[in-house]
A and B are shown apart, each in its own frame.
Chain A
Amino acid sequence: MKTLNYWQAISEAFAEEMERDETVFIIGENVQESPFMITKGLVERFGPERVMDAPLSELANAGATVGAACAGYRPICDLTFADFIYCAADEVLLKAAQQYFAHNGQVNAPCVFVGVAGGGFGTGPEHSHVPSAMILNNPGLKLVLPSTPYDAKGLMKAAIRDNNPVCYFFHKKLMGLTGEIPEEEYVIPLGQADIKRKGSDVTVVATLYMVHHALTAAEKLKDEISVEVIDPRSLEPLDMDTILESVKKTNRVVIVDEDTERCGVAAELGQQIMEQAFDYLDAPVRRVCSRNMPVAGAAMEKYTIPNADQVISAIRSMVE
């Protein structure tokens, strides 16, 4: 075992996959200097042809990514901020997502779009969102949301090897988080949830930084309520079985999501749980999400995104 932090884990996955497969390359703004560290050191190792500093155009970068993927490469497109995926909407949501379907399964686009998501730095609208529901609303795209260094590395390797376009959002607040990584190579298949903490009274489903709020809540409540924390790790594909199994055991579920509440991931998961495990529920499914507004900046940010206290009170309200 070795200890790496979250961005190093992502970077190591890039390096190993680039080593393993010549068709893997990285394209994006400043990937040679890497404002979010994840490509640090790669240009020295693989050269500027495979770590390509691209123009300030998410649309051109994403489009070139999709095109190259259709033509036999496995590009990784760094959009820097996840929010900027909106700037590349045509290429990601229409072209990448629909490529395979639109061409009768004859052309596929194996590529990864990465971006740093979420709040925590007060950077305000256009720089702080976790745009996951928008991705899920466009079938054809996969969606990965890692919450630990171990997951970040294993899931990135799976994402690069996947034959579909994968959106992979990592979180601003997790960049420096350290964790143990095996020396030997490993891949975490997409669509396998991880039980981050076992419990028997309430199930909390969360991704990205929200997993850590859920774990904090579980720890604080440990003498009163036994909380199980499930991290789906990818929302497409989604490991519903693990979630349902947990719900059948605890009969109560709180979903924590940093994306906007309205029409969000939590609404989707809650509905699926209701459809598939209604008889097991002792209480309505509860959501803790970002409020139905853009993420505010500076000191107001904290009033718009979820915190651990909200998760604690949601859990408490389930057992009262």
Chain B
Amino acid sequence: MPELTKDQKLALYRGLVRARKYDELNVRMASEGKLLTFYHSAQGHEAIGVGACSVLRKDDYVYMHIRGHGVPYAIGKGIDPKNCVAEHLGKATGWGGGITGVHMVDKENGVLGVGGTIGSCFVLSAGYALAAKKRGKGQVCVCFTGDGGMQRGQAHEAMNMAASWKLPVVWVVENNLMAWFTPFCDTSAVKDIAQVAKAYDMPGVIVDGMDVFAVREAVEKAVKRARKGEGPSLIECKTYRFRSHSEGRPDACHNKLRPQEEIEKWKERDPVKLCRERLLEEGVLTVELMDGIEREYAVEMEEAEKFALESPYPDPSRLPEIVYAP
């Protein structure tokens, strides 16, 4: 792969900071009781969505994972986070019109929706890829899911189908070692999810999910392959969630709290920090620039909150109109 340009590197860093700031806003609003629905923090996971989406075209599809309710992926695709904030406040300007709670959609940017049932993403994303293949314009679908999602039958059924039909889909599994409050090692026969790819005769790679550059590189390779009609890939990103499964819930594992030392240890490899250190060292980033970026997104999130708070609620008379398409 050619070395990334300075601008490309900076764009990755900006994406990470923006996703983090957005997450921090949601965490705060959840603690203030402002969110009308749940919130699953993405802190620790940002490099995956940001890195992967940095190689996509506007007309590619993404199927978003619940972490950050899709924002780390969506911003890379061009979506405006203020509409995400609005949705969580149940406002008409939200990306589900204030009706869905969390089933966000931005068709323009290739986000056709998000499922409430974990793991359902696999088969639907195979369907997006099937459409992409039929259309023949080189579109791909990148589907993000957790290690929990991998345990559903759909994952395997979709992989078999996509691999036999060479569908242009890339499955990016965010293995954060936990599904809700259950550790991955308790419920998985394999240590590395990537090895499942062997069963379907497709590439399966393991990536450092804290390193936005590594994620970008792996996804870029898989996307190229998919665009050429060579079929699906499975990318396992090793990562960690820094906060509890969802806001307001104890950060438990089995029936104990997750060990703080473990969390701190992973935080040493915080994806935002890793990227910042590298770019500072390379001279791509300066302290001034860094502060500027921080401020820019802090202001953006303040504005997003204000926008959401001031937006109107949807008109409930719309509800019957959206049960069936005309």
Assess whether A60 is in contact with B153, with CB atoms less than 8 Å apart.
yes
Binary flags per residue of B111-154, CB closer than 8 Å to A gives 1, else 0: 00001111100000000000000000000000000001101110
Name A123-138 residues within 8 Å CB distance of B: 123-127
Closest chain A residue to B314 by CB distance? A300
Q: Are B181 and A33 in contact (CB under 8 A)?
A: yes
Interchain nearest-CB distance for A67 vs B (Å): 15
B102 interface hit (Cβ, 8 Å) = yes
Q: How far is the CA of A58 from the CA of B186 in the complex (A)?
A: 16
* Contact indicator B319/A30 (Cβ below 8 Å): no
Which residues 61-103 of B sit at the A interface, judged by CB distance below 8 A?
87-91, 96, 98-103
A55 lies within 8 A of chain B by Cβ: yes
Residue from B89, B99, B118 whose CB has the most chain A CB atoms within 10 Å: B99
CB pair B180 A30 closer than 8 Å? yes
Which residues in chain A, 83-122, are within 8 Å of chain B measured between CB atoms? Answer: 83-84, 86-87, 121-122
Q: Which residue of A lies closest to B155 (CB)?
A: A57
**What's the least CB distance linking B326 to chain A, in Å?**
15
Q: B116, B188, B252, B313 — which one has the most chain A CB atoms within 10 A of its CB?
A: B116
Dominant secondary structure of chain B at its interface with chain A = loop
Given A296-B319, A297-B37, A299-B90, CB of A122 within 8 Å of CB of B153:
no
**Cα distance, A124 to B322, chains bound together (Å):** 14
CA of A40 to CA of B319 in the docked complex: distance in angstroms? 38
Which of A32, A291, A300, A304 has the most chain B CB atoms closer than 10 A to its own CB?
A: A300
A57 engages B151 (CB within 8 Å): yes
Interface extent on B, as a size class?
35 or more
The answer on a CB contact under 8 Å between B101 and A297 is: yes
Q: Which residues of the partner chain B approach A294 to less than 8 Å between Cβ atoms?
A: 323
| Docked complex Cα distance between A30 and B178 (Å) | 11
Task: For the complex, give the distance between the alpha carbons of A59 and B314 in Å.
Answer: 36
Q: Known: A32-B181, A57-B153, A125-B116. Contact between A297 and B100, CB under 8 A? A: yes
Taking a contact as CB atoms under 8 Å apart, the answer to whether B179 and A56 are in contact is yes
Q: Is the CB of B152 within 8 A of A123?
A: no
B280 in contact (CB, < 8 A): no
Candidates B37, B149, B319; contact of A56 at CB < 8 Å: B149
Interface size counted on chain A using CB atoms at 8 A: 38
Which A residues lie within 8 Å of B187 (CB)? 53-56
Q: A277 interface residue, CB < 8 Å from B?
A: no
**Which single member of A83, A86, A123, A299 contacts B313 (CB below 8 Å)?**
A299
Q: Cα distance A174–B61 when bound, in Å?
A: 40
Q: Which of A43, A83, A87 has the most CB of B within 10 A?
A: A87
Residues 272-326 (chain B) with a chain A CB within 8 angstroms: 313-314, 316, 319-320, 322-323
CB-CB nearest in chain A for B180: A30
Q: CB of A303 within 8 A of chain B?
A: yes
Residue of B nearest to A294 (CB): B323
* A22 in contact (CB, < 8 A): no
Q: Is the CB of A56 within 8 A of B254?
A: no
Q: Nearest chain-B residue to A33 (Cβ)?
A: B181
Q: Is B249 engaged at the interface, CB distance under 8 Å to the other chain?
A: yes
Q: Report chain A residues within 8 Å CB of B249.
A: 35
Contacts of A30 in B (CB 8 A): 180-182
| Docked CA distance A60–B153 (Å) | 8
Are A29 and B180 in contact, CB atoms less than 8 angstroms apart?
yes
Is B263 an interface residue when CB atoms closer than 8 A count as contact? no
Q: Could you pull out 23 A-B pairs where Cβ atoms are within 8 angstroms?
A: A30-B181, A32-B255, A43-B254, A55-B187, A56-B151, A56-B182, A60-B153, A83-B116, A87-B117, A121-B37, A121-B38, A122-B90, A123-B102, A124-B37, A124-B116, A126-B115, A292-B323, A298-B87, A298-B90, A299-B314, A300-B314, A301-B101, A304-B319
